[in-house]
Structure 1
Amino acid sequence: MRYVTILLFLMFALTARCQRKEVTPPTQVAVLDPKTTLPKEFVFTDKPVWQDEFDYSGKPDPAKWGYDLGGSGWGNNEMQNYTDNLANAHVKDGHLVITAIKEPSGGRLYSSARLLTKGKGDFLYGKIEVRAKLPTGVGTWPAIWTLATDSNYGTQYWPDNGEMDIMEHVGFDQNRVHANIHTKAFNHSIGTNKGDEILVPTASTEFHVYSCEWKPDLIVFAVDGKEYFRFQKDGLYGWKEWPFDRKQFLLLNIAVGGNWGGQKGVDNTIFPQSMEVDYVRVYGLTEKK
């Protein structure tokens, strides 16, 4: 009887094992978070979306350029009065010529011009190219730069809404060109400025192309295609660090003296001094197909 019981037990165990199914672990399927935006690739348009080749004579094209006027010091204790006079800004022989002159003007000792595209050329992203030859001499402070079209952030227009300096040059440091960005979090007034510099030995004797490539997460500055400063958007940045998601406009000017340009004084024997601009071209940004 004991042998029969053992035999029945073995038969039951074998049958149960044969009926048991092997369980396969479920396949792990990666599911994209619907809130996640996949990285996009961008390219610049082949042709400019805005440009001035200065193939005319007289005053800068009023459909493309306006003026900042006055001699308030412009927040930097500058010494010039900005005018819309032909002597301070005119187009001739295919070039825009902006000239700083030693003369009484608006209660100041110098006159100059500051041109801007606000309301006539406002851009959100793109590539800006300006081919220019710079003035020379202690006290000159030319610039090619951008400011926000509107006050979108914070309580102060500057620096809350951002500034991009495509080219700055101070005459007391002749062979050096600078690029900078200014924001609420990063600006020279609080010692957190972000920028860099490059040697351009022929900045005042030859034309060079000063450029800025502006994308939703990256700004790159270059001279003649040679990159020398980039500002990358960090994933943690808010508007205080990165206000560069709103339109900006372009400015061209020569300041005289000021907090930076006048650090070594002003040499009155050098004037008049001019910045010549061969062309201004802005290329649009499109998503790569």
Structure 2
Amino acid sequence: MKRILGAGLFYILISACSVHHNPKENPQVYLQNPGRETKKWKLVWEENFNSPKLDTTKWTRIPAGGADWNRHMSLDDACFGWEKGELILKGINNTDRKKDERPFLTGGIWSKGKFAFQYGRIEIRAKLGSAQGAWPAMWMLAELDKYGQYPRNGEIDIMEHLNFDDIIYQTTHSHYTLNLGQKDNPKHSGTAKVNAGSYNVYGISWYPDRIVFQLNGEDTFTYPRISGVDASQWPYDQPFYLLIDQQLGGSWVGKVDPKQLPVEMRVDWVKVYQ
């Protein structure tokens, strides 16, 4: 069951946790105090999607870009829906090619500039749709650009699902893994068995020395910080924001079958603990 965290209770909760950092220059950033990772998790931020519209104090619709993942991103209302306290992100055939020449349109949201956190635990309850060319993803990028242009700030892929697979991919990307090619020292990616058409809780527990990927509360893969290698191995010492999107097509997932659209990802809730 869902519940809405009232403003007063929210203030009391985050004050009691001693984990909320609210600097004037970056009020959207939640930093975890040193040593806090050894104590019990406390809820510091949540989204239940109970409103029939997007809460723009927390989220922005992802605009189109030139990469595989955002090539079909759209702000069009046809790519978004709300039903029974769930956000629905859709991948659809474009029915108005005069207005927008792209064959497909997709919906996604990010918390860039509105919410980011450094260390802690995030959980997202969602149900994924499957289709040829469908690529739903939940992932994270750096908020403050500490180390330079992508991929130097790193990327944390909480969950990616392809086509009709019965597994999800959970991955880290960085200058170390992509440009230096260090994908096995340590291993940077893992998979986990999943029934994508059911509701699952996807998440990570993020510490100063490791990122533990999880599915339904169970640990599935760990990416550790290691010594004796290039410093770019661990850009994960800075705040990251969240992206949730229903992507379509690209070199990894393959071509889209328009006959299998629309496809959708239904997101029930998002919770962050520190």
- Scaled to the shorter chain, the TM-score interval is 0.7 to 0.9
Identity of aligned residues (%): 32
Match among 50, 75, 81 for residue 90 of structure 1? 81
Match among 99, 113, 118 for residue 119 of structure 1? 113
1:43-62: CA deviation from partner (whole Å, max 9, x where unpaired): 465442111011121x2111
1:168 aligned residue:
160
Match among 156, 169, 172 for residue 178 of structure 1? 169
Amino acid corresponding to residue 65 of structure 1 in structure 2: W
Q: Residues of 2 paired with 1:46 and 1:159: CA distance? A: 30
**What TM-score results when the alignment is normalised by the length of structure 2?**
0.79
Aligned length: 235
Amino acid corresponding to residue 208 of structure 2 in structure 1: P
Gaps of 5+ in 1: 1-38, 285-289
SS of the equivalent of 1:82 reads: coil
Shift of 1:158: 1.4
Shift of 1:180: 0.1
1:269 aligned residue:
259
Shift of 1:91: 2.3
SS of the equivalent of 2:259 reads: helix
Amino acid corresponding to residue 177 of structure 1 in structure 2: I
Structure 1 pair 175/45, CA: closer, same or farther in 2 (3 Å)? same
2:138 aligned residue:
144
SS of the equivalent of 1:170 reads: coil
1:73 aligned residue:
66
Q: Residues of 1 paired with 2:142 and 2:70: CA distance? A: 24
Structure 1 pair 65/40, CA: closer, same or farther in 2 (3 Å)? closer
Structure 1 pair 97/189, CA: closer, same or farther in 2 (3 Å)? farther
Q: Residues of 2 paired with 1:45 and 1:162: CA distance? A: 27
SS of the equivalent of 1:279 reads: strand
Q: Residues of 1 paired with 2:231 and 2:63: CA distance? A: 30
Contact 1:137 1:174 in 2 (8 A): no
**What TM-score results when the alignment is normalised by the length of structure 1?**
0.75
**1:230-249 to 2 correspondences below 5 Å:** 230-237=222-229, 239-249=231-241
1:225 aligned residue:
217
Structure 1 pair 283/44, CA: closer, same or farther in 2 (3 Å)? farther
Superposed CA RMSD: 2.2
Contact 1:145 1:167 in 2 (8 A): yes
Gaps of 5+ in 2: 1-33
Task: Kindly indicate whether residue 54 of structure 2 is the aligned counterpart of residue 54 of structure 1.
Answer: no
2:272 aligned residue:
282
Once structures 1 and 2 are overlaid, which stretch shifts more, 183-192 or 132-141?
183-192
Contact 2:124 2:270 in 1 (8 A): yes
Contact 1:99 1:272 in 2 (8 A): yes
Q: Residues of 2 paired with 1:230 and 1:146: CA distance? A: 16
Amino acid corresponding to residue 192 of structure 1 in structure 2: K
Q: Residues of 1 paired with 2:70 and 2:226: CA distance? A: 38
Match among 105, 119, 129 for residue 135 of structure 1? 129
